[in-house]
Structure 1
Amino acid sequence: MPKSISKILSNEYSFAILTRIFSIFITVAQSICVARYLGPALKGESAYINIIVATGGIIITFGIHEAYPYFKKKLQDNTFLSRYISLVYLIYGIYFTLSLALCFWFPTADIQAAILLMPLAGYARVVNYVHLVENPNKRNITTLSISFITLIVSIILIILTSANFYWMILLLMITHLLQAIIFTYLLRCKPIYDKTSLGLAKELFRFGFFPMIALLMTTLNYKVDILMLKQYNYITYAMIGVYSLGIGLVDIIVIIPDTLKGVLVSKLSKGAATNEVAKVCRCCMASSIILFFIILILGRWAIRLFYGEPYINAYEVVIITAIGIIFIGYFKLIAQYNIVNGKQIRNVVLLAAAVVTNAIGNLLLVPRLGINGAAVATSLGNSVCGILFVISFTRETHTPIKDMVLIKKSDLSLLKNMVVKKQQ
């Protein structure tokens, strides 16, 4: 194997970025297939169900996945993984049973589907996150493979079926289902239940409360606009579908901090210093800005060509929200530093300001500007969120703000060639 390729594959950041580049192409291809298959109206309904599933999944998970790297670092116990996963099996077994019983209490099909999907989404999130901490490279390649399988399923549906509510639910479920099955198999933990299990469960839930609130606020900061748009009678599912497409395309930028965040969590749980956070933040900002300008130049043409004329108004949503999404990388990365170091409350306080900004913005702007008003509110909320996290981190660690923003010569190889020294 050539030396340069070997360096890329051996470095966790470089490998993560490489897999995410492929993931971007697969995600966009799947987005095109799903948007054209469902049409704006079903896509809007899908987005509404998805945010209910995401919100409910976060609440029932209660942040126990966020607790994993903290207790792994604290306990230094070789049996911790098995003890932790054993509790996850038990907790989600209860959740799955309850969801089957509760769904019959609700008369509408969309709410019933959301309730059934909540525990599946929550469980998939937990085992995905644990595998990320244990083996970032293997997790990233597995996630890429799952995305590819989901794309194939989407193509098969387009060829063989006509879009309806039930096929839409399958498309919502398939990724969570594959993650749950595959990551459970890869972890292959032998259940361990003993007299310490109850105490560990209490510690996990106690620790996870504030990360859960923070993650819930993060999701609402991204998606509260969809919930609020649904409450206006003049906003149709088709309009929500156009808006959700715009938000989804902007999420391409978020792929960068999401990728780097995963490896950063692994390194922080193993004792990495604060300068690692600063380095990843400035690389993330530079990469996000580059992606923003690519989207600005090619976005309208790409939407018309790949998604079709019914979605062309999504371009305005993309540009408005992309301005704020550039800053969200700071939140995603610095929040992980806070969690690993047991400072979850700080995340909650800072996120609260961003969520309030977003919600007030939606109330004021949606009646006047429609879906573009929701986009402006989201952009403001994301900008406030990122700036507050930078201020908090730099004050605590005495890191100069320029070190969080300006690329250094030592970073250029990561951005240009995705090659850095192994495990600095």
Structure 2
Amino acid sequence: MLKSVNGKSFLTNSAWLLFDKFYRLGLGLFVSVWVARYLGPELFGELAYVISAVIFFQALSRVGLDGVLVRELSLKPKNSNELIGTAFVIKLFAGVFSYALAFLLFYFFETFDSTILMVLVSISLLFQSMDILELWFQSQSKNKSSVIAKLIAYTLVNIGRVLLIFTEQELIYFALFTGLEMFFSSVALAFIYSRSDSFFNWKLSVDLAKKLIRESWPYLLSSLSIVLYMRVDQLMVKNLLSPGALGLYAAGVAISVQLSFVPTIIQRTITPFITRKKVESEEQYQSLLKKIFWVFGILGWLVCIPFYFFSELLIVLLYGEAYSGASEVLAIHIFTNLFINMGIAQTIWMVLEKKGKLALYRTLIGLCVCISSNLVLIPQFGIVGAAISAVLAQASQAVLSNIILAPDIFLLQVKSLVFIKAK
């Protein structure tokens, strides 16, 4: 597969993204586990509840632009100042709107304490527009710069969280440091970007803004649906069971959701290359696409099998006996990675083929399955029922929906999951 693209550049950028993910997994898991042990299941569940809600508004603030913007920057690098400037304005307005909406919804429908936590965690929404700089680095295959910038921010935030534990601070301070990560990241990205380009060269085009919004709105709705069906289980666990139950569930899910980083890295790294490959040769593009699905299928099984068998040992070792109830959640939820991998592979195809509405239809199917199955399974099986619902939702939206929406992709996904190379 690597021979089909610029192998050296691909490996270099993949190496930096892998370093980023392993660093985050190492430091982030260590600190998060420490925070979970310090707070206990109930307070950890309260924080997880607010974070899950704010992630929905983060998706809203991105406006579905990311994939479209990377594609346009890859194909039209000479127009980067206009693309970045226009996208920045769109995302800035979306971030402010998302923050205000989050505040109003929590103010009217949640407790005062939850609202305060939300105000602190969602500070990140006000700086979400600066992630366009990461997308620019990505489109130019310069992931090293964005990785360094974001890891500086990530390190500072986690040092702060450790200091909060040592000084025995209250929950609101942990919420504040969660929100500050995007601020630190924005400052670091802006500093590195300013050394090669100037913010004063950015341009705003109303016509381009209309074009980007017209193409991105299906991806926005799709992203919102994805966040809902990936996070609504946590919201429902807290409301149907208890914050303590959510603390256990969040601990198990926290490990599982981190493990899709390899296909995500491949997607981010290869998208600029496969975009250009599609322009050069449709035959080579199709061949490369098939190989991506097959590799993603193998990666999914390599993650699921060991974590299924060692889930209990891992949970107790990391979180302690107080979180032992999370082990069965991890053993089941880990299989969402199989279908997440297939969905990530299909996303590459959908962006390049401009099938944004297909993404929307898939995720709406996943959302419906998620909500309905959670309503049935959580009251009967508790947090285990929520984990089962997560697997059903991922399978429905990423694979089963393609029986009707994209039959050729469905066959490709099935072959990939059973290790049959498509010809």
What is the TM-score normalised by the length of structure 2?
0.82
More deviation, 132-141/261-270? 132-141
The amino acid that maps onto 1:156 is L
Residue 182 of structure 2 is matched in structure 1 by: 176
1:49 Cα deviation from its structure 2 partner: 1.2
Equivalent pairs, count = 397
Give the counterpart letter for 1:370 in structure 2: G
- Structure 2 residue 413 is matched with structure 1 residue 395: no
Find out whether 1:82 has 2:95 as its counterpart: no
- 1:24-63 aligned at under 5 Å gives the runs 24-63=25-64
Taking a change above 3 Å as real, the CA distance of residues 125 and 405 of structure 1, as seen in their structure-2 partners, is: farther
CA contact (8 A) 2:45 2:247 kept: yes
Q: Mapping of 1:24-423 within 5 angstroms?
A: 24-73=25-74, 76-78=76-78, 80-94=79-93, 103=103, 106=107, 108-114=112-118, 116-117=122-123, 119-120=125-126, 122-123=128-129, 125-134=131-140, 135-162=142-169, 164-188=170-194, 189-192=198-201, 197-232=205-240, 235-272=241-278, 273-388=285-400, 395=408, 402=415, 406=419
Q: Residue type of the partner of 2:378?
A: V
What is the percent sequence identity of the aligned residues? 19
Q: Is the 8 A contact 1:69 1:269 kept in 2?
A: no
C-alpha separation in 2, matches of 1:112 and 1:174:
15
| Residue 209 of structure 1: how far off its partner (Å) | 0.3
Preserved contact between residue 81 and residue 201 of structure 2 (Cα < 8 Å): yes
Shift of 1:51: 1.9
Structure 1 residue identity aligned to 2:415: K
Work out the CA distance in 2 between the residues paired with 1:328 and 1:370: 23
Q: Say if 1:128 and 1:37 are closer, same or farther in 2 by CA, change over 3 A.
A: farther
| CA distance in structure 1 between the partners assigned to 2:415 and 2:58 by the alignment | 38
Q: Which amino acid letter does the alignment assign opposite residue 219 of structure 2? A: P
The AA in structure 2 aligned to 1:180 is: S
Report deviation, 1:223.
Answer: 0.8
Distance in 1 (alpha carbons) for counterparts of 2:311 and 2:302: 14
One-letter amino acid of the counterpart of residue 204, structure 1: L
Give, in whole Å, the separation in 2 of the partners of 1:336 and 1:55. Answer: 22
Contact 2:17 2:265 in 1 (8 A): yes
Q: Unaligned stretches of 5+ in structure 2?
A: 1-6, 279-284
Q: Secondary structure at the match of 1:406?
A: coil
How far the C-alpha of 1:366 sits from its partner, in A, is: 0.9
Q: Secondary structure at the match of 1:63?
A: coil
The 1:229/1:260 distance shift into structure 2, 3 A limit, reads: same
Alpha-carbon distance, 1:309 to partner: 1.6
Report how far residue 367 of structure 1 moved.
Answer: 1.0
Which has the bigger relative contact order, CA under 8 A and spacing at least 6?
1
- Contact 2:70 2:135 (C-alpha < 8 Å) held by counterparts: no
Secondary structure of 2:162's counterpart equals helix
C-alpha RMSD over aligned residues: 3.1
Instruction: List gaps (5 residues or longer) in structure 1.
Output: 1-5, 409-424
| Letter of the structure 2 residue corresponding to residue 341 of structure 1 | E
Equivalent residues of 2:362, 2:398 under 8 A apart: no
Q: CA deviation at 1:334?
A: 1.1
Letter in 1 for 2:408: R
Distance 1:182 1:403 in 2: 39
Question: In 2, distance between residues paired with 1:16 and 1:389?
Answer: 31
Structure 1 residues 326 and 396, CA gap change in structure 2 (3 angstroms):
closer
* 1:141 shift after superposition: 4.8
- Distance in 2 (alpha carbons) for counterparts of 1:328 and 1:334: 10
Deviation at 1:85, TM superposition (A): 2.8
C-alpha displacement at 1:347, in angstroms? 0.9
Q: Give the match for residue 282 of structure 2.
A: none
Q: Deviations over 1:115-165 (max 9, x none)?
A: 543623633554433432232344345444544443322222222233x23
- Cα distance change of structure 1 residues 35 and 407 upon mapping to structure 2, 3 Å threshold: farther
Q: Secondary structure at the match of 1:68?
A: helix
Name the CA distance, whole Å, in 1 between partners of 2:261 and 2:87: 27
**Distance in 1 between the 2:420 and 2:28 partners?**
28
How far apart, CA to CA, are the structure 1 residues paired with 2:135 and 2:25?
20
Q: Is the contact made by 1:58 and 1:122 (CA closer than 8 Å) also made in structure 2?
A: no
Structure-1 separation of matches of 2:166 and 2:413: 55
- The alpha carbon displacement at 1:96 in A equals 6.1
SS, match of residue 334 in structure 2: helix
Distance 2:144 2:400 in 1: 31
Cα offset, 1:77, TM superposition: 4.9
Between 387-396 and 147-156, report the one with greater CA deviation: 387-396
2:139 partner amino acid: V
Three-state SS of the structure 2 residue aligned to 1:42 is: helix
